Amino acid sequence: MSRAMLSDDQEFQAGKGGRREISLNILRSLRIISRAAQAHSRMVEKKCGVSGAELWMMWEILHYPGIRVSDLAASMAIQAPTCSNLLVKLQEKGLIRRVRSDPDHRAVRVYLTEEGAQLMSRAPRPAQGYLQEGLRRMSDDCLRDLNAGLEQLVKNFTGGGDESSETVPQSEKE
C-alpha cells in the first residue's frame, strides 16, 4: 500500500522514522526532563526545606532585590495568584518580606530576609536554571522550532483555551 493511501492513524503507526517513532522519542524526552525536575525538587526540599518552585522564586528575588510581585510572576511565567500563594508560604517560613513602597501602597516589593539569604548561600541552583541553560545552548532555529511545536502541543492538549485550563486535557473537557 502506498503512503498516499494510508489513513492518518495508519501513517502514525508507520515504521522507523515515522510519526509514531518521533512521537515516542518526544514522550521519552519529556519524561526525562520531568523526572529530572522532580528529582531535583525532592533534593531541594530535603536539603533546604523549600519546594523547587519556592527555590526558583527565591533565586529571582536574590538576583532582583525589591522586585515587584507582578514582575516576579512574569519572570517565572506564572499567574499572579500562584505567585502570591508561593510568597505567602515563603513569608510564613520567614524567608522573604514584602514591602509596600509606593505612596499609595499598591505596589508590593519583595526582598529576602537574612534567613532567606543564608538559605540561598547554601542552596543549589533551581532546576529551571539548568533547563534555561540547555535552551540557551540551542541554535535560534532549533529554539524557534521547539517553541512552535510546544505551543501547538499545548493548544492540542488544552483545546486552545486560556492558561486556567492548562491542567485539564481537552479530551476530559468534552
| Extents of the domains making up the chain | 19-123
pLDDT in tens, 139-157: 999 999 999 999 998 898 8
pLDDT in tens, 105-141: 778 899 999 999 999 999 888 777 777 788 889 999 9
Indicate the pTM of the whole model: 0.69
pLDDT at 6 over 70: no
Amino acid at 161: G
Q: Could you write out the DSSP letters of every residue in 111-152?
A: EE-HHHHHHHHHPPPPHHHHHHHHHHTS-HHHHHHHHHHHHH
Per CATH, the number for 19-123 is 1.10.10.10
How long a stretch of residues is the chain? Answer: 174
